[in-house]
Amino acid sequence: MTNLNDLGLTDRNATGGGCCGGGSCGCGHAVETSAVETSTAAASGTAAGAITTDLSVLGMTCSHCVASVTEELGSIDGVDSVSVQLNAGGVSTVTVTSASPLDAQAVRTAITEAGYSVQEV
């Protein structure tokens, strides 16, 4: 199993390998798994009355990508947690939890600033 302690990630596939022909994404970091999850939430579970927003994000390939998106979204006022289900080379699911509705443009801007794009539904 790959050591993913730096972000508390879990290797769900344990297949190794990598993206972009075998080892790194455009950001230059080695790919550690093809499907990982991380969250900024300190405690497990979601507070009663919390609002969750699921986004389909394109372009994420590794744990560094996950960290970049999580950091940008986590800096938006009102965001309680960010959870990412990475699908390396495909469409990843990003779930943002907040106590009140977030500005959709601020969310899109944060993802764009991290270097990725939201897939339109």
- Whether residue 22 has pLDDT greater than 50: no
pTM: 0.65
At 25, is the pLDDT very low, low, confident or very high (cuts 50, 70, 90)?
low
Q: Domain map of the chain by residue range?
A: 1-42+49-121
- Whether residue 53 has pLDDT greater than 60: yes
Looking from the CA of 102 toward its CB, the CA atoms found within 13 Å total: 28
Q: Which of 97, 96, 73, 84 has its CA nearest to residue 36?
A: 84
- Whether residue 95 has pLDDT greater than 70: yes
Compute the mean pLDDT over every residue in the chain, rounded to the nearest whole number. Answer: 74
Q: Which residues make Cβ contacts (< 8 Å) with residue 22, sequence separation at least 6?
A: none
At 89, is the pLDDT very low, low, confident or very high (cuts 50, 70, 90)?
confident
Return the SS3 of 68: helix
Q: Which of 67, 33, 35, 70 has its CA nearest to residue 55?
A: 70
More confident residue, 33 or 106: 106
**Tokens 């993802």 correspond to what residue?**
111
Residues 72-76, mean pLDDT to the nearest whole number: 96
CATH of 1-42+49-121, one of 3.30.70.100, 3.90.550.10, 3.30.930.10, 3.30.420.40: 3.30.70.100
